[in-house]
Amino acid sequence: MQTPYSAKELARLGLERATLPRHVAIIMDGNGRWAQRRGLPRVEGHRRGVQSVRAVIEESCRLGLKQLTLYCLSAENWKRPKAELDVLMLLLEQYLIAERREIMEENIRFTTIGRRDPLPKNVLKEIDESVRLSAGNTGLTLCLAVNYGSRSEITDAVRKLAAEVQAGRLDPDDITEETISQWLYTAGMPEPDLLIRTAGEMRVSNFLLWQISYAELYVTPCLWPDFTVEEYRNALRDYAKRERRFGGLNS
């Protein structure tokens, strides 16, 4: 089990517990480019990216973060070649099995967001098993966004709200931002404080559009397989310098 950083250790890293985000979300981009620049098949970039996933999760546990959400597969990614998608599904299944012991040892609560329908049954089986086993854990919440798209999420929420109104269980005048949040995939989760995007792309790619309204953004040119713990700490140090006003003014 990872030993949490002490205040002194955090200080040596240039971090302070009071200025750490509760919830970090990451768009893990650049696996394919990492492989292509090395003359390797794109799938090798995905395989190498798993190491960065493991390192970031371990560091998040040591930092004592409340939640880490990783954008693993977008709803739009199904447009990619079938061979690449098959490898991605295989890697996800293998990851869920291989990391289950560590998830339990690190007291991680595992969950996912996204539409389940297109996912293979064997992958859903492993997802459900990890969710079931870790449901009582009280440490870091690890959320994988798999077959996720924010517009789809909001559409699904609107449909459910419309059904509630049609059934007479909800008055349209009673619908608030909080009501809508309760019908999103992320219901009950804290909103991200920090959104990290790798590979230098300046867009959010249909990821947590509702939830990141006031998140701080950090974009690094680093490709995801090259994203190290130190680069992660750089993002956290940068976040600590931000002045978060949420539309208001500091006194």
Instruction: Please list the active-site residues.
Output: 29, 77
Nearest of 8, 22, 15 to residue 215 by alpha carbon: 22
* Both structure tokens of 204: 């959010």
How many Å apart are CA 4 and CA 155, to the nearest integer?
A: 40
Cβ–Cβ under 8 Å, residues 137 and 109: yes
Collapsing DSSP to helix, strand or coil, 186 comes out as coil
**Rounded-to-integer distance, Cα 97 and Cα 17, Å:** 32
**Do the beta carbons of residue 247 and residue 225 sit within 8 Å?**
no
The encoded tokens of residue 81 equal 């070649």
Tokens of 164: 């509630």
Distance CA 228, CA 222 (A): 9
State phi, psi for 17 to the nearest 5 degrees. -55, -40
C-beta separation of 46 from 87 below 8 A: yes
Q: Do 46 and 85 touch, CB atoms closer than 8 A?
A: no
> CA 191, 152, 127, 222 torsion: positive or negative?
negative
Sheet holding 194-197, edge to edge: 109-113, 141-148, 67-74, 23-27, 194-197, 216-219
